[in-house]
Chains A and B, each alone.
Chain A
C-alpha cells in the first residue's frame, strides 16, 4: 500500500521532470521507476552481519563477503548504486524488512514457510548443515552431543534442522545472532553450534582448535529475498542467469571459496 503510494508519487515527480525537460529523459526515468526501488537509482540491500564469509564488515568498515560482492556486481549490472542496510534475520525472512530495502542477501535458505512471506530469486548457492565443535571436545558426530548443550541461531535452518533431527537428550540454546554460539562454546556454556557449512568451514580454516564434527545433506539452496517488486525480481533473476554463463559468478565464487 505504502509502496504503491510512493510509486505514484515517484511517477508524478518523473512526469513533471519529463514534462520540463522534454522527451530525452523519459526513457531512463521510466526504467528506473519500473524497478520499484526504495531509493531511486540505488539498490538498497538488507543483510545481517556478521556471517563470514558470506556477509560481514571488514576492518576498514566496508561490507564484503560472497553475498555482498555478488550484490555489488548485480547493482553494477543494473546500473544502480549499491547501499547496504542492516536488518534482523527474523525481519528479513519474515518479510518485515522490505520497507527499508529492495532486496535481502543474507544466506537465506529458501523454505516453503519463508516463501509465503518473501518472494525469492532463483537459487544462487547450495548449502549444507554442519556441527561445529572444539577439537578437544571429543565430539565427532551428532550422537555425541547427547547430554550436552547445542547452540543455534534463532530462526535459521540450522536451528530448525537441530530441532527436528537432534537425538533425544540434546538441549538447544538459542541466540539472536551468530556470534553468541561461538562465545558460548568458548565459555563452555554450549558444546556445539549447528549452522551452515559455508560459515563453519571458513571458521575452521582460520581457527585451529575447532573442527566440523559432522556435515548434513539437506538439499538447501540460498535465494535473495524481495517483497512485492516483480520487475526488480525479474531484473535480478536475469542478471543472475547472465552471471552463471558469463563467468562472473565463478569469479566471485572462487574469490571466496577456492583460495
Chain B
C-alpha cells in the first residue's frame, strides 16, 4: 500500500512538473513575436512549391544515393573485416575507424577540395557528386559494423548445415547467411538512413547552385531574403515528414522481429 502510494506521489509530481513547464512556456513565451518570426504564413506561401519540388526532392535523392553507394561499400568492408586474410582485415579496420572518427564535414571538404588539389582527379557530378561520395564513404564505415554484427548474429549452425550440404563458401554467404542477417540489420540500417537524411544538410558548405539546394540551404536563402526564421519551421516539418515514416517503420519491424523469435 505504502509502495503504491509512493509511486502515486511520484507520478503526480512528474505530471505536475510537465504541466508547470507548459504553463511557464505559455506565460513567458512572447507568442506574438514567436508567431511572427516562426509561423509567418506569407513566407510559407513563398517557399511553396519549391521547398518540395527542389529542396525536399534533392534531400531525398542525395540520401538514397549516399545510402545505396554506402551499402555497397559497407558490405564489402564487412566481408573484408571478417576475412582470414590479414591485409584485408587491417584495411577494413583502418577505414572504419578513420571515417567513423572524422566529422562528416571534414570528409566532405577533403573529398571536394583535397583530392582535386592533390591528384587533379575530379569526382563526376561536380560538387553534388563529391558530396554524395563523401557521405557514402562515411555511411559505409558506420554500416559496415552494423552488417558485421548482423552476419555474426546468424547462428553458426546455419552456415555449418549449408556447408555440409555441399554449398560453397560464397553461396552459403549469399543465399543462407546474408538473407537472414539482413532481417536483423534492417532496423539499424534504417536508423543509419535517418542519420544520412540529416547529414545532407552539410552539402551546401562545399558549394551549391540554385538547382542543387537541399532543405537547409533552401531555408537559409529564404531566411536571408525574408529576414525571418519561418523557413526553419517549414524545413523542420519537411525533415520530420521524411524521417517519421522511416522511424515508424523501424519500430514496426523491431516489434515483428521480436515476435518471430
Contacts and interface: CB of A to CB of B under 8 A. Distances in A.
Say whether A associates with B. Answer: yes
B224 A155 contact: yes
B207 A174 contact: yes
Interface residues of A, number: 27
B207 A175 contact: yes
A53 interface: no
Given A175-B207, A187-B117, A2 B224 contact: no
Contacts of B112: 183, 187, 189
Given A186-B113, A187-B117, A180 B221 contact: no
A184 B207 CA distance: 8
A1 interface: yes
Interface stretch (B62-70, B120-128, B147-155, B185-193): B120-128
Contact of A189 (B127, B204, B229): B127
Interface string A170-184: 011111110010011
Given A155-B224, A187-B112, A189-B126, A173 B207 contact: yes
A167 to B, nearest CB: 17
Q: Main SS of chain A's interface residues? A: mixed
B42 to A, nearest CB: 15
A117 interface: yes
B207 A189 contact: yes
A187 B113 contact: yes
Tell which of A95, A117, A155, A180 has the most Cβ of chain B within 10 Å.
A180
Contacts of B220: 90, 154, 176
Contacts of A96: 223, 227, 229
A133 B44 CA distance: 39
Given A174-B209, A180-B205, A187 B224 contact: no
B206 interface: yes
Interface of B: 30, 32-33, 109, 112-114, 116-117, 120, 122, 126-127, 204-209, 217, 220-221, 223-224, 227, 229
Closest 8 CB pairs of A and B: A187-B116, A90-B224, A183-B113, A117-B227, A187-B113, A94-B227, A173-B207, A94-B224
Interface of A: 1-2, 90, 93-96, 116-117, 151, 154-155, 171-177, 180, 183-184, 186-190
